A and B are shown apart, each in its own frame.
Chain A
């Protein structure tokens, strides 16, 4: 199993550009989520999904869109990039059944917006 994969690893955008961060998992996990990590701010939840076709907002959803058309994929779209979105983005997935919600994280995407 590859686990959770994210592409790209690094990205530089100009203000106003749009892009999609890709996330895929091969563990058949129902739950997937996106976090951003900024120095001193820990991990903040952007959006999450409990299954294909179902998404919901986290703590900091503004400026980001998600969709979940398949169990495996959960892309994060930046609509119009702003310097405040410079961050490290992590995708994570987990099972929902069984009471153990151990989250598996991808390696992250380091995004710089100039």
Chain B
């Protein structure tokens, strides 16, 4: 079955530093979604990537989909305390909407 590895599991940064989380799949993906979960909250959709090599930006967040559609990354420039939370990748290998989530990367930001 589909396996997803997300690294790192935890990251502590000083406010203003950059942050990157990586998602690697053992199979070729149809698309990949990213979600953010604040402490005590529920996951909230950030973005969906579909095309090989796709790069999308949302303000300080940059999302990339690998050329082989087997990996993806989320990069945050100049972190802020509002970025605290857990970031999940959710690959879809069959284009059916069935998502298997990665383990997540928990980001802590020191002010």
Residues of A within 8 A of B (CB): 31, 33, 35, 40-45, 48, 50, 58-59, 90, 92, 94-96, 99-108
Contact = CB atoms under 8 A, between A and B. Distances in A.
Contact of B88 (A31, A40, A42, A58): A42
Interface residues of B, number: 25
Contact of A45 (B33, B42, B99): B99
Given A42-B104, A43-B88, A101-B33, A106 B42 contact: yes
Given A42-B88, A43-B43, A108-B42, A101 B48 contact: yes
Interface stretch (B55-63, B73-81, B90-98): B90-98
A90 B42 contact: yes
Given A90-B43, A102-B48, A105-B44, A45 B98 contact: yes
Given A101-B48, A101-B92, 4 more contacts: A31-B97, A35-B101, A45-B99, A107-B42
Nearest to B1: A59
B103 interface: yes
Contact of B45 (A35, A41, A90, A103): A103
B109 interface: no
Majority SS of interface residues in chain B? loop
A96 B88 CA distance: 21
A32 B50 CA distance: 21
Interface string B31-66: 101010000011111001010000000000000000
22 contacts: A35-B101, A40-B103, A41-B103, A42-B102, A42-B103, A43-B43, A43-B88, A43-B104, A45-B99, A45-B100, A45-B101, A50-B97, A92-B43, A101-B33, A102-B33, A102-B45, A103-B43, A103-B97, A103-B99, A105-B44, A107-B41, A108-B42
Contacts of A41: 103
Given A101-B33, A102-B33, A108-B42, A59 B48 contact: no
A43 B101 contact: yes
A23 to B, nearest CB: 12
B26 to A, nearest CB: 15
